[in-house]
Structure 1
Amino acid sequence: MKLYPIESGNFKLDGGAMFGVVPKTIWNRTNPADENNQIDMAARCMLIEDGKKLILVDTGMGDKQSDKFFGYYSLWGDNSIDKSLEKYGFHRDDITDVFLTHLHFDHVGGAIKWNKDRTGYQPAFKNAHFWTNDNHWEWATKPNAREKASFLTENIMPMQESGQLKFIERPEGDFKKNSELGFDILFADGHTEKQMLPTIHIDGKTFVFMADLLPTAGHIPLPYVMGYDTRPLLTLDEKSKFLNEAADNGYYLILEHDAHNEIITVQHTEKGVRLKDTFKWQDLLT
């Protein structure tokens, strides 16, 4: 099994929203804001090459929304899924499966594109199955008022209409070993209902794709919870349990939204779990 970073693009978000109740004077030290109070963000996806399977984890925002929509997110840089795939010798038509940690627009937008004459939508990965779970699908297709702006119909329903949608079988607890796609999955409910975090074991190391349980390295301290989370107190508990386990076992944490740190490890300190080391992808995986 091989893992590759797929940089789908960069954007910016309001730093206050990203750190919730934490004062700017504190979070600005690790995630400095610009003159509009926005911080740098990545949409770092992951490609898993495993035998005949080529699995893309998340897809970024895509490019089908309006200029007005993208104007809210201050896009920057020239990364794209196609450029990243080409770098490693792949094409989007090679993708066999698209695993979606959850269906917020910055994770699923790239799964669907305009059709040729821009009269409707079609899958951006024509040979792939799209994987979510039934609880999260129900949550996303009947959204609460808080999350409605993050679950866009045009990103979600075309997957079902195409016949390419599949559901991960859920475990009784919050962890599923050896899923249908060949890797373990950690389920988390604080950010949104049944977010799924791929957990992969390679050469004695455990890699966890953190999605929105830990957006950036700056979010390691427990109270640093996003204002976007639907159940912030649950996020706090989930982070505590996971980060202590990660520190105990030396997990490598792949950061989806940190524009400047790709992979990190954490350690126990007198102040709680804190950052230990940072790594470039090529140092560990390619």
Structure 2
Amino acid sequence: MKLYTINTGNFKLDGGAMFGVVPKSIWSKQVPADENNMCAWALRCLLIEVDDKLVLVDNGMGDKQDAKFFGHYYMHGDDTLDGSLAKQGFTKDDITDVILSHLHFDHCGGSIVRNGEALVPAFKNANFWSNERHWQWATQPNEREKASFLKENILPIQESGKLHFAEVQDGASIIHPAITVRYAYGHTDAMMLPQMEYKGRTAVFMADLLPSVAHIPLPYVMGYDMFPLTTLKEKKAFLEEAAEKEYVLFLEHDANNECCTVQKTDKGIRLKETFKLEDL
């Protein structure tokens, strides 16, 4: 197995929304905000090369939305999905499988591209993986969350005939023998967290259960989370497990850190170290 970091760009979100009840006077020491209270975040995806499979976990925002949409999110940086794949010697046509942690636009927007008036899969040779529970949640969204579930990102996947649902058994799924998917239910319903053994370590794609190292302390829960007390419980249990078993945590949204480990301290679970995936 080989793992590759695939950067698809950076964007900005409101700092208060990203840190929930934690006051700006505290969180801004770790993640500085601009004059509009916006903080910079990564759109970092994971590429897994295993056997004859090339599996991409999430794919960023894509580029099919209009200027008004992107104006809300201050896209910046030179990284693109195509460029990052090319650096590793791949193209989108090489991808065999796309695991979508969840269907918020910043995680699945790159799944679909415009071809004239048509909306078609960006990865023409790939199967797309979600789960039935989350798919129903995203296609019949509640009023609070529906702005994050864009039909043009989601429905064409199903229409392509390439959509597959991971079967949940005992709280996990196996998409490939080397890739186990854990589930979390606080940020959105049935978010998928791929986990794999790599270079003698357990690596976990954290999606929005842990957006950045700044979110390690338990009260640091995003205002975007649908069920914050569930997130709190899930984070506590997972981080204790991660500290005990020395998991490598792959961070999707941390603008500065690709991976981290955590440790138990007198103040609870805290950051141990950060590093690039390629340095593992």
| Bucket of the pairwise TM-score, normalised by the shorter protein | over 0.9
Q: What's the CA shift for 1:203? A: 2.6
- Output the CA distance in 1 between the equivalents of 2:26 and 2:42: 21
- 1:93 and 2:93 correspond: yes
Computed over aligned residues only, the root mean square deviation of the Cα atoms, in angstroms, reads: 0.9
Amino acid at match of 1:71: G
Q: Residue by residue, what CA displacement relative to the aligned partner does 1:39-81 show, whole Å, maximum 9, x if unpaired?
A: 1100100100001100000010000001000000011101101
- Output the CA distance in 2 between the equivalents of 1:262 and 1:179: 24
**Is the CA contact (8 Å cut-off) linking 2:261 and 2:273 kept in structure 1?**
yes
What does 1:171-250 correspond to in 2, within 5 Å?
171-172=169-170, 174-176=171-173, 178-180=174-176, 182-250=178-246
Amino acid at match of 1:124: A
Secondary structure at the counterpart of residue 154 of structure 2 = helix
**Is the CA contact (8 Å cut-off) linking 1:208 and 1:254 kept in structure 2?**
yes
Secondary structure at the counterpart of residue 207 of structure 1 = strand
Q: In the comparison of the two structures, how many residue pairs are matched?
A: 280
- Output the CA distance in 2 between the equivalents of 1:203 and 1:102: 27
- Output the CA distance in 1 between the equivalents of 2:232 and 2:76: 31
Q: What's the CA shift for 1:282? A: 1.8
Aligned to 1:75: 75
**Is the CA contact (8 Å cut-off) linking 1:168 and 1:180 kept in structure 2?**
no
Q: Residue by residue, what CA displacement relative to the aligned partner does 1:80-101 show, whole Å, maximum 9, x if unpaired?
A: 0100010010010000000000
- 1:147 and 2:145 correspond: yes
- Output the CA distance in 2 between the equivalents of 1:21 and 1:220: 14
**Is the CA contact (8 Å cut-off) linking 2:178 and 2:197 kept in structure 1?**
no
TM-score normalised by structure 2 residue count: 0.98
- Output the CA distance in 2 between the equivalents of 1:55 and 1:203: 18
- Output the CA distance in 2 between the equivalents of 1:10 and 1:209: 18
Aligned to 2:168: 170
Secondary structure at the counterpart of residue 199 of structure 1 = strand
Q: Residue by residue, what CA displacement relative to the aligned partner does 1:166-196 show, whole Å, maximum 9, x if unpaired?
A: 1101113x334x4346311110000001000
- Output the CA distance in 1 between the equivalents of 2:195 and 2:137: 23
**Is the CA contact (8 Å cut-off) linking 1:9 and 1:80 kept in structure 2?**
yes
Aligned to 1:122: 120
| Correspondence for 1:260 among 256, 262, 265 | 256
- Output the CA distance in 2 between the equivalents of 1:163 and 1:278: 40
- Output the CA distance in 1 between the equivalents of 2:172 and 2:130: 15
Amino acid at match of 2:162: Q
Secondary structure at the counterpart of residue 179 of structure 1 = strand
- Output the CA distance in 2 between the equivalents of 1:272 and 1:86: 41
Amino acid at match of 2:168: R
Q: Residue by residue, what CA displacement relative to the aligned partner does 1:129-165 show, whole Å, maximum 9, x if unpaired?
A: 0100000000000001111000000000000001111
Structure 1 window deviating more from structure 2 (195-204 vs 226-235): it is 195-204
- Output the CA distance in 1 between the equivalents of 2:111 and 2:9: 14
Aligned to 2:64: 64
Aligned to 1:12: 12
- Output the CA distance in 1 between the equivalents of 2:201 and 2:178: 16
**Is the CA contact (8 Å cut-off) linking 2:59 and 2:107 kept in structure 1?**
yes
Amino acid at match of 1:105: F
- Output the CA distance in 1 between the equivalents of 2:181 and 2:201: 16
In structure 2, the gaps of 5 or more residues are none
- Output the CA distance in 2 between the equivalents of 1:202 and 1:267: 20
